[in-house]
Structure 1
């Protein structure tokens, strides 16, 4: 029996939008964390004029590296992706744990730059004059084992690139050509001290301030780590280090890896992620100040010089008040292109889908799952979007046409169970499948948990996600 999957779906919120989408802006001049209750892993942020831009990792999902825009650091929408597809053949199939890691975004000479690494393919740079318009992607260096790059342009015009190595290794600095497309040397190790700063990664140049060069890097691991900052009088070191943010007495585990940004009014703010398992790495916004030549992020209530995350705070002073906004979720498929909330599990293929904006429909073509496990984890033609809130409901209207035995069309929480309309022999069934697993590399064939025959060719399917990430299908 063929294992084929087609999703023909209309996604709508079952209740009012405000009940389904996380709202950090409290409407009274304050906000609550996280400001993005979705998996925007390894965020970096910049300000250009009155506009803020954020980028994040995409891993195997494509189009890759979402570009989000905000006017106030609290209310964000998706405006673009850095690339439509990675230009490497293997990304035509899902590559879990691969793809784009920890991008950095910078603005220099009227040009926006994003640098990122893939662990197996090397260093990439993308550039554009307008972050909402197409980016030009360049593979700067083909090499295995690099991660988390960030560029810096010094006062004399010399460009540099800082990066680490997979496995959370040392900080390595290169000179960079003026166009950002060529490394000019083999790199110099500028910091390594595993006893003080273990699992060092996520490098971000911050600033040159009062004669010091500063870069930031998290340490201690994703789930329980901390944020450190490093400074030196010479860009090559020697560097001092200081922990500037940790969990402390709060419930925000591992508050680290992100970007420091200054508002138009002179305030400093830091955006970082928190590991939330099923929800991914959600994004928090912390106030920051400078004290004795070091940033203090969050609130230092106990006076130890290390900040702790805040859950609520006054919004950043950006000189104006802006309307609430949130990343896109619902889609009525009424336009000529997919909404920016959607990604595929591999490089997009135009043969996978067709949109009919006048009818408000999206047709996805069934394709075989490329492994014997039958797991959706290996299906490139999954149309995906991130969890949008701690608790929400997604509803889909779905039809299965011209189906052969074994064809399925459904609604899934990836790496979990799913509900589908499927063809069994000459009859349609509504079925729920369970996926037993032990990580991505040990997935067993899905088994039927429940199945009922139906004469319907069109059905409404729903998944309700509770605050503990428990999912209920109906």
Structure 2
């Protein structure tokens, strides 16, 4: 039996259909390196964000399938001016493969992550949705780490690449008591990383990935420091996403009913790395076993629990209230003096540059796959000469559609050819593909993105002066290489090429449902 649920949430209309089974990916969004855990009947999920700010998004769920954004564990990225796009950039640095847990003894959530292979930072909060506070720095890099809070409340962190270590933390969880190598990966296996640590029925487990095609489990009955034995969980397993990579990395989680699930991710470029879920059973040797479908990770399984619909992040965000929703992240740290939210979003030009990759205050939103559209309504009447503002399809190969003010003449323009070097510097600032003069002070800008896995996928760029008839100005062939790690995002930008002082008002952003070509209106070709 299937049933549809209609609910209004914060201005969104959610139309969701549930049946006895869910379909993978559970979220067709770029949410890699997940750490998933349960507190009572609530499940929490955090993921890598690299250079985006705030970092380490937090999602919650009641059924492991339907998720909603509720906050971030790292309010900003305080690791140097490059994270502010000053004197450099932090592309593909920052937050990756961090860990988060709740500690019942002091009613604190902990987030722990190593930054730039240097040192580890600990943040805490009394609630997943409250402001998180930086609490300490640990001089050891807990690379790709996983936190375990043991039955006696001792905190351990498993971490490392090939050489897997376990650190014991101080009683408050803010310092290190000791660290010890517990496993050296043999050459027959190769690299292991992405550690998650668990204690299940008195046995310690370290859940580690062989990037990007395998998953192994270390097991110790002698304590957190081993010795550990190892067993392959999966290798070169078939993917539930057509054309996608092997499900790997991620987390084990137990439901309140005593069943177990594995949330992995699948390399699915150009969109990014998408979370997929499968049931776990336990073998007679105490190692986990994935429930397969025809020898592969299933494209669908029975729901772990009764489905519970949460707020949809498709629909229209009119930027109500005085703060951004938790689904938004800036490209690097924002200049808070150059934007405001007050029942609408005002973006003041924050940078004088001809390079969008160097422009501060580009506001980003993950793309929902496999296809969807993002549309903004932009009031450009207060732009200054030389300003550029609009909507970008953002990655290491990018294109944008926006408004350019040329000495008081406004032109809606599609620019392409924005590219990065292999070390994430700007290789090209791009050039105009096509444009047309407009007037009236308001324009609708739309990008349709096809993030099905594989090469040759397209993003198409549209504009409208009435919100009804949309004209295509051009397209971008999306880069499907994995090296940038993060997938494409929509980004809303405003920067100056001559002098600061201009601003734009973003009246709304609309994300349509997956599978749609547009969010309404008639399409024409320019």
Interval containing the TM-score (normalised by the shorter chain): 0.7 to 0.9
Cα offset for 1:322?
2.1
Structure 1 equivalent of residue 8 of structure 2: none
Contact kept? 1:150, 1:163, Cα under 8 Å? yes
Q: CA offsets per residue over residues 345-377 of structure 1, 9 Å max, x none?
A: 1123221211231xxx2110112255xxx3322
Contact kept? 1:84, 1:347, Cα under 8 Å? no
Structure 1 equivalent of residue 363 of structure 2: 383
Structure 1 equivalent of residue 349 of structure 2: 366
**What CA distance in whole angstroms lies between the structure 1 residues aligned with 2:235 and 2:14?**
34
Cα offset for 1:158?
3.4
Cα offset for 1:342?
0.9
Cα offset for 1:335?
1.3
Q: CA offsets per residue over residues 180-200 of structure 1, 9 Å max, x none?
A: 111123x22111224133221
SS in structure 2 of the partner of residue 35 of structure 1? coil
RMSD of aligned Cα (Å)? 2.3
Cα offset for 1:392?
0.6
Task: Report the structure, 1 or 2, having the larger strand content.
Answer: 2
Match of 2:97 among 93, 102, 107: 102
**What CA distance in whole angstroms lies between the structure 1 residues aligned with 2:302 and 2:293?**
16
Cα offset for 1:419?
0.6
Match of 2:134 among 96, 119, 137: 137
| Cα 1:86/1:409, change in 2 over 3 Å | same
Structure 2 equivalent of residue 9 of structure 1: none
Q: 1:403 and 2:386 equivalent?
A: no
* Pairing of 1:109-148 with structure 2 (within 5 A): 109=105, 110-142=107-139, 146-148=142-144
Cα offset for 1:135?
1.9
Structure 1 equivalent of residue 157 of structure 2: 161
Cα offset for 1:100?
1.1
SS in structure 2 of the partner of residue 351 of structure 1? helix
SS in structure 2 of the partner of residue 180 of structure 1? coil
**What CA distance in whole angstroms lies between the structure 2 residues aligned with 1:430 and 1:88?**
37
Contact kept? 2:114, 2:120, Cα under 8 Å? yes
Structure 1 equivalent of residue 175 of structure 2: 182
Q: CA offsets per residue over residues 147-167 of structure 1, 9 Å max, x none?
A: 212222334443322211xxx
* Pairing of 1:14-53 with structure 2 (within 5 A): 18=15, 26-53=17-44
**What CA distance in whole angstroms lies between the structure 1 residues aligned with 2:167 and 2:148?**
10
* Pairing of 1:229-240 with structure 2 (within 5 A): 229-234=217-222, 235-240=224-229
Structure 1 equivalent of residue 329 of structure 2: 343
| Cα 1:453/1:273, change in 2 over 3 Å | same
**What CA distance in whole angstroms lies between the structure 1 residues aligned with 2:121 and 2:346?**
33
Q: CA offsets per residue over residues 24-67 of structure 1, 9 Å max, x none?
A: xx512210001111111100111111111111111111111111
Contact kept? 1:98, 1:120, Cα under 8 Å? no
**What CA distance in whole angstroms lies between the structure 2 residues aligned with 1:330 and 1:314?**
31
Give ranges in structure 1 of 5+ residues lacking alignment: 1-11, 303-307
**What CA distance in whole angstroms lies between the structure 2 residues aligned with 1:329 and 1:149?**
35
**What CA distance in whole angstroms lies between the structure 1 residues aligned with 2:14 and 2:403?**
27
SS in structure 2 of the partner of residue 147 of structure 1? coil
SS in structure 1 of the partner of residue 270 of structure 2? helix
**What CA distance in whole angstroms lies between the structure 1 residues aligned with 2:238 and 2:345?**
48
**What CA distance in whole angstroms lies between the structure 2 residues aligned with 1:137 and 1:328?**
32
| Cα 1:332/1:300, change in 2 over 3 Å | closer
Q: CA offsets per residue over residues 381-437 of structure 1, 9 Å max, x none?
A: 100010122111111111223333321111111131101110123311111111242
Structure 2 equivalent of residue 218 of structure 1: 209
SS in structure 2 of the partner of residue 377 of structure 1? helix
**What CA distance in whole angstroms lies between the structure 1 residues aligned with 2:348 and 2:144?**
36
| Cα 1:117/1:232, change in 2 over 3 Å | same
Give ranges in structure 2 of 5+ residues lacking alignment: 1-10, 463-526
TM normalised by structure 1 equals 0.85
Contact kept? 2:158, 2:206, Cα under 8 Å? no
| Cα 1:196/1:327, change in 2 over 3 Å | farther
Contact kept? 2:252, 2:260, Cα under 8 Å? yes
* Pairing of 1:2-13 with structure 2 (within 5 A): none
Structure 2 equivalent of residue 471 of structure 1: 459
SS in structure 2 of the partner of residue 443 of structure 1? strand
TM normalised by structure 2 equals 0.77
